[in-house]
Amino acid sequence: MVSPILELKDINKSFGHVHANKNINLQINKGTIHGIIGENGAGKSTLMSIVFGLYQTDSGTIKINGKEIKLKSPRDSILSGIGMVHQHFMLVENFSVLENIILGFEGELVFGKNLEKAKKDLKNLCDTYKLNIDLESTISDLSVGFRQRVEILKSLYRGAEILILDEPTGVLTPQEVDELFKILRSLKEEGKTIVLITHKLNEIMDLTSEVSVMRQGEMVGHKKTESTNKEDLAEMMVGRSVLLRINKSATKPGNAVFSVRDLVVKDDLDVTRVKNVNLDIHEGEILGLAGVTGNGQTELLEALSGIRKIESGKIQLFNETISNKNNFFDPKLLKEKGLAHVPEDRQRMGLVTDFKAYENLIFGYHHQEPFSKSSVLKEKEILSFSKKVMEEYDVRPRSPNLITSNFSGGNQQKIILSRELNENPKVLLVGQPTRGVDIGAIEFIHQRLIDMRDKGAAILLVSVELEEVLSLSDRIVVMFDGNIVGEKINKDVTDRELGLLMAGVA
Amino acid sequence: MATAVDKTKVPWWVANLIVPLVNLLLALLVSGLFIFIAGENPLQAVRLIIYGSFGYIEGFAYTLYYTTNFVFTGLAFAVAFHCRLFNIGGEGQAYIGGLGVFLVAINLSFLPVPLVWLLATAGAVVFGAAWAYIPAYLQAKRGSHVVITTIMFNFIASSLMVFLLVDVIRDFKQMGPHTVALPKELWFPTFKELAHLFGVKIRYSPLNLSFLIAIAASFFVWFLIWKTKWGYEMRAVGHNTKAAIYAGISPHKNIIIAMLISGGLAGMLGINEILGVHHKIVAGFPAGYGFTGIAVALMGRNHPIGIFPAAFLFGILYQGGSEVTFDMPNITRYMFVAVQGVIILFSGALENLFRPQIESFFVNRINKEKMA
């Protein structure tokens, strides 16, 4: 009989009237990799934040190694042997690996004895788990995959026996994911316990021995991974059966309506991020742009949507030049010409998170009738519009007066999509449409994009999720270091091939 | 992070009423300590404040007169703040606004009186806005921080006005740095005259028509910020500039509009002081109202519904305070500047000092009630 290292009993937590965790029971056995899956807003992150001491429970008990403990802050959790690798890394970019790891645990005023000891311990840990990290290198010089390893090393150094990873693969290339999985397996071999929070079913099947499924704040089931499959898990998560891969008809692309010629774009620091890009997007086609984050996709999207000035080249919409090195149309004008943009970073660009939902549902269209007339906002019209689209796009909760930051990521994304797709744009630029969005909503969003395509829209899909690019696109281009390094027709390509292109080795 | 209170669980009345009241109470306690150290009875001082500001009709009218000034400058600060601009130039904008009032009124005095009032008010707005325009332009186009530029513009306004009052528009029959008085028929009707109509005799009262204009201005600001496209765009720029650009909202344009409206509102202090009270430009007439407006706006959470009571509170302090200094020889005028400072400190700078504790206290109590 294996003993549970972590035991949660009847955990409850609410935020306002949102009951984020309802009577959660969970047992995690020592030396296993335990998956926790669920849609966004299902309460996984809340639950793990409770375990890591970031939130306090309203009621319920937590036991570690059979002993009941109170976790009032992350420090308590760290001392109890719990480590967490967050989705967004908590590292000081201009510090070295070593400095980051000992931060807050220096243990002495002037570095000396303890630092030497720390170095030795860290070297040992690196060797044991084959982490292969140079302790002296600066974080900003490291790739995302390595930064994640630094986070893992940090937790291990602080004595973590239980390591919680929150959506660890979202930012990694396929090759980096393989490396991470190797590390996680070797951690397990050495007797560590790993809790993997994810919404990717492949990862659960690959890596875990047990899996717990959450839905709408409740734990809906615990399974042995070997005795379940992806379809069952997806159904448990969503509460109905889901299509894992979208059905779509063959495409009948029309004329090129959006074209980019010899485009060069610099970022805010004057670094050239887009180097000589050429693209054509046709009516009735989804062009997928794959690539690892930070290879110029962000700047490309911003240039195409009239947010960023370009250095040289030109961008044309319906044969009209909308951007050249001297001038560009602003987003307001582009909207009138039939171009809509779902930005990559929904919280920092797509939404004003402090606004109420209805204010965001008209964001960028607020000056148009029927939303405003002679500069006065028409609240009645805006509210009835909001209710209509929230119903249509199944935004939950259906409260147009709720502040947007209180919606889950998936629902925030739906707010943006309902706003941008409502006007039936002829050209649609979409960045990371399903980042941090749950399976049920992904299916819905994907279906909407296909519908738009079938209605004749020209769509550019920028995504770091290979699965998504493969599932939706008719044609795929790969961006690496500011250049388009390959173009493939979707049906002739494998994810291995794309992965190599994305890594810049092919 | 560990002590964070779940904001969605905090009832609105705790965040918006209890917390400011506790801060105010603390400020008064500390102020009481000052008065005690100065050798006077704090309770007696409180009694005097209340008597001075409410106890007799002239006193109450004075309270409302001060309130008028704070409403204008508080609203001015709030409008800019919704666009995340820290306009601390209200003092200078008010000063120049006064110049606008005077110049319009003295030069157009041949027109019908209500029309002169209207145009003089417009003069206050235009001059105040113009004084805010340069810092606004520099912020929008050059990124020069408005905090720096507006405070500089306070000094420039003050020097410019001294120059004008000494060398250009001074009443040359006098030695003092002030202009000639406006013709009597252009003076704003006062509360004293209104009271006389009802047969109540009042000695003197500076309270005038401007008080009603201040109420109207509060409604205007509420409508502007929450009900119009302009307010919507300003708030969007203030909360998230990047998102605003994405949505085709120009931060430059909105920074300038917000600052112009802010400067215009500050300029309206000039109508209260010049059409209502002095009837001429007196050197230094804004007397710190512009700065106190910052505290009023912060205390009122930048919403007209909050700004009005906050302005009233400062009105009480100004009026009651002068009563105290009159009756208590050990308490000087500067003592009350210190009291205001303490209030600003507790309700502005230290606003969040006790917020987490107070909020979690109420949240826990509510949780317990639910359990029971």
What pLDDT is attached to residue B104? 97
A420 with A333: CB under 8 angstroms?
A: no
Chain A residues touching residue B229 (CB < 8 angstroms): 366-367, 372, 375-377
**Average pLDDT value for residue range A92-102:** 88
The Cβ-side half-sphere exposure at A476, using a 13 Å CA radius, reads 27
Same domain, A84 and A22: yes
Which residues, at least 6 apart from A431, have a Cβ–Cβ distance to it below 8 Å?
Answer: A297, A298, A301, A341, A342, A343, A344, A345, A462, A463
Report the phi/psi class of residue A106: left, alpha or beta, with left for phi > 0 and alpha for psi in -120 to 50.
alpha
CA angle at residue A326 from A322 to A330, to 5 degrees?
Answer: 40
How many whole angstroms from its chain centre is CA B67? 8
Whole-number pLDDT of residue A72: 87
Q: Identify the pLDDT of residue B266.
A: 98
Last residue of a domain, one of A363, A390, A417: A417
Ordered alpha helix ranges (H), A337-378: 357-361
Q: Which residues of A touch B242 (CB under 8 A)?
A: 348-349
Q: What percent of chain A has pLDDT over 70?
A: 95
Distance of CA B154 to the CA centre of its chain: 15
User: Distance between CA B321 and CA B337 in Å, rounded?
Assistant: 9
Distance from C-alpha of B25 to C-alpha of B29, rounded to nearest angstrom: 6
Q: A15–B1: do the CB atoms touch at under 8 Å?
A: no
Same domain as A394, residue A313:
no
Which residue from A36, A416, A349, A415 is spatially nearest to A200, judged by alpha carbons?
Answer: A36
A302, part of any domain: yes
Tell whether A96 and A192 lie within a shared domain: yes
Q: A55 and A87 share a domain?
A: yes
- Between A14-28, A57-71, A321-335, B166-180, the lowest mean confidence (pLDDT) is in A14-28
Output the pLDDT for position B131.
98
Whether A130 and A196 map to the same domain: the answer is yes
Q: Find the domain containing A411 and state its range.
A: 352-417
The string of pLDDT tens digits covering residues A434-473 is: 877 777 788 889 999 999 999 999 999 998 777 788 889 9
Residue pair B116/B293 in contact by the 8 Å Cβ criterion: no
What is the SS3 assignment for A310? Answer: coil
Do A391 and A499 belong to one domain? no
Spatial contact of A406 and A354, defined as CB atoms under 8 Å apart:
no
Phi, psi of B176 (to 5 degrees): -70, 155
DSSP state of B271: I
Report residue B83 CA to chain centroid gap: 18
Is A275 a member of any domain? yes
With beta carbons under 8 A apart, name residues in chain B contacting A72.
2
Q: Please check whether residues A46 and A181 belong to one and the same domain.
A: yes
- Whether A107 and A36 map to the same domain: the answer is yes
Q: What is the pLDDT along chain B (372 residues), one digit of tens a residue?
A: 334 456 666 788 888 788 888 888 899 899 999 889 988 899 999 999 999 999 999 999 999 999 999 999 999 999 999 999 999 999 999 999 999 999 999 999 999 999 999 999 999 999 999 999 999 999 999 999 999 999 999 999 999 999 999 999 998 888 889 999 999 999 999 999 888 888 888 888 899 999 999 999 999 999 999 999 999 999 999 999 999 999 999 999 999 999 999 999 999 999 999 999 999 999 999 989 999 999 899 888 899 999 999 999 999 999 998 889 888 888 888 888 888 888 888 877 777 788 888 888 888 888 777 766
The verdict on residue A343 lying in a domain is no
Q: In what order do the strands lie in the sheet with A320-323?
A: A272-282, A256-266, A312-317, A320-323
How close does chain B come to A53, measured CA to CA in Å? 7
CA-to-CA distance for A317 and B159, rounded, in angstroms? 55
Comparing alpha-carbon positions, the chain B residue that sits nearest to A405 is: B8
Q: Which of A204, A237, A270 is the last residue of a domain?
A: A237
Q: Are A311 and A188 contained in the same domain?
A: no
Number of domains, chain A: 3
One domain, residues A136 and A253:
no
Q: Do A379 and A427 have their domain in common? A: no
**A344 in a domain, yes or no?**
no
Asked whether the beta carbons of residue B249 and residue A74 sit closer than 8 angstroms, the reply is no
* Integer Cα distance of A45 and A275 in angstroms: 39
Q: Which of B246, B250, B253 to mutate to test the interface with A (most CBs of A within 10 A)?
A: B246
Question: What six digits make up the tokens of A488?
Answer: 């493939």
Nearest CA in chain A to B226: A377
Angle at which helix B113-137 crosses helix B146-163, to 10 degrees, equals 130
- Which of A375, A405, A406 is the best mutation test for B, with the most CBs of B within 10 A? A375
Whichever domain contains A60, its CATH number is: 3.40.50.300
- Specify whether A133 is located in the same domain as A277: no
pLDDT for the residue numbered B1: 34
CA distance B242 to chain A (A): 6
> Which of B1, B6, B232 lies at the smallest CB-CB distance from A359?
B232
B352 in contact with A at a CB cutoff of 8 Å?
Answer: no
Chain B residue with minimal CA distance to A74? B2
Contact at 8 Å (CB) between B267 and B124? yes
Query: What is the rounded distance in angstroms from the CA atom of residue A221 to the CA atom of residue A242?
Result: 18
Nearest to B24 by CA among B320, B326, B319, B298: B298
Distance from the Cα of residue A85 to its chain's centroid: 15
Last residue of a domain, one of A417, A436, A451: A417
Neighbours of A384 (CB within 10 A): 13
Q: Which of A16, A343, A376 sits opposite B9 (nearest CB)?
A: A16
